[in-house]
Amino acid sequence: LRLPLIPKLELGAAVRAEHYSTFGRNLSGKLNVRWQPTPIMMFRGSMATGFRAPSISQQQAVALAFTSSGTRYYDPLRCDRTGATPKSKAVPEEPRDCDVLNSTGTPGNLAAFTVGNPDLKPETSRSATLGMVLSPSRYLEMSFDAWYFRRQDEIRIFAASDILRAHFADPLAYADRV
């Protein structure tokens, strides 16, 4: 819905209704305002809610994969990092021990086993924005915006690199997942 109140002030509204067999009904909405007191200055703002149900794969899937990234990981059991240069404890030395993910040129992917979580809740969010746009000429436009987002029950996969980073920092962290 777009509702011009007076020539320089406009209100807007949007709504989305959803029904999920596993999560029931949800209603999300957005309200916004736009005020342009002069041809070169405009103010805008909005408030909204959001909803995202977990996908079937996030709830039920089992996946086996290999993963890699540009981040360097050290195997704390096989790499001695006490000296100036990390050194493999293996005889003969194995470069991957001190660079699990391949920046040494030796392939070193991480095996990952991902399992869905049947107890996941839907993600919800609230947001607000407030901004100003200045257009002093037809060749220049500047905008200044502030925003606030809050997510609850965010669904995020623990990547192998996240688990390793936490485990290497504290060997008890995620020890059951390494």
> Which pLDDT score, from 0 to 100, does residue 107 have?
47
CA–CA distance, 122 with 165 (Å, rounded to integer): 27
The pLDDT tens digits along the chain (178 residues) read 999 999 899 999 999 999 988 888 999 999 999 999 999 999 999 999 999 998 888 888 787 776 665 556 666 777 887 888 778 888 888 777 776 655 555 545 666 777 888 888 899 999 999 999 999 998 999 999 999 999 999 888 777 667 777 877 887 877 777 6
Instruction: Specify the pLDDT at position 151.
Output: 94
- pTM across the whole model: 0.62
CA distances, 167 to each of 7, 68, 77 (Å): 60, 17, 12
Q: Please give the pLDDT value at position 136.
A: 93
Q: Which of 151, 146, 152, 154 is nearest to 128 (CA)?
A: 146
pLDDT reported for residue 104? 52
What is the reported pLDDT for 94? Answer: 79
Q: What was the pLDDT predicted at 111?
A: 67
- Are 26 and 122 in contact by the 8 Å Cβ rule? The answer is yes
What is the reported pLDDT for 172?
Answer: 84
pLDDT of 147 = 96
Name the CA radius of gyration of the chain, rounded.
25
Beta strands 24-38; 9-20: pairing state: antiparallel
Cα–Cα distance for residue pair 109/164, rounded to 1 Å = 13
